[in-house]
Amino acid sequence: LKTRHQKARDAAAARGTSIHAYAEQLVAGVEVEAPEELVGHIESCARFLDDWQIQPVVVERPVASRTWWYSG
């Protein structure tokens, strides 16, 4: 019970990492086949890319700002 929140956090992080990996492939124009539990997320990403006609300059690139004190 003490580590339940950590397991939930880790599962969510793993799911997010998978979604980002599929999204990166979509941006590169690769057709993806996602597991059923991620299909909704991947379809939403594909619709967003199509609807907004996204033309990426860089993908999953680290960024930082000393002015606004963020990085990621």
The tens digit of pLDDT for each residue in 11-28 reads 999 999 999 999 999 999
> What is the rounded CA–CA span in Å between residue 39 and residue 10?
20
Number of H helices, E strands in the chain: 2, 2
Residue 65: phi and psi, rounded to 5, are -140, 120
Instruction: Please indicate, yes or no, whether the overall pTM of this predicted structure exceeds 0.85.
Output: no
Task: Please check the confidence at residue 10 and state whether its pLDDT lies above 90.
Answer: yes
Measured between its terminal Cα atoms, the distance across the chain in Å is 31
Each residue's pLDDT tens digit, 12-71: 999 999 999 999 999 999 999 999 999 999 999 999 999 999 999 988 889 999 999 999
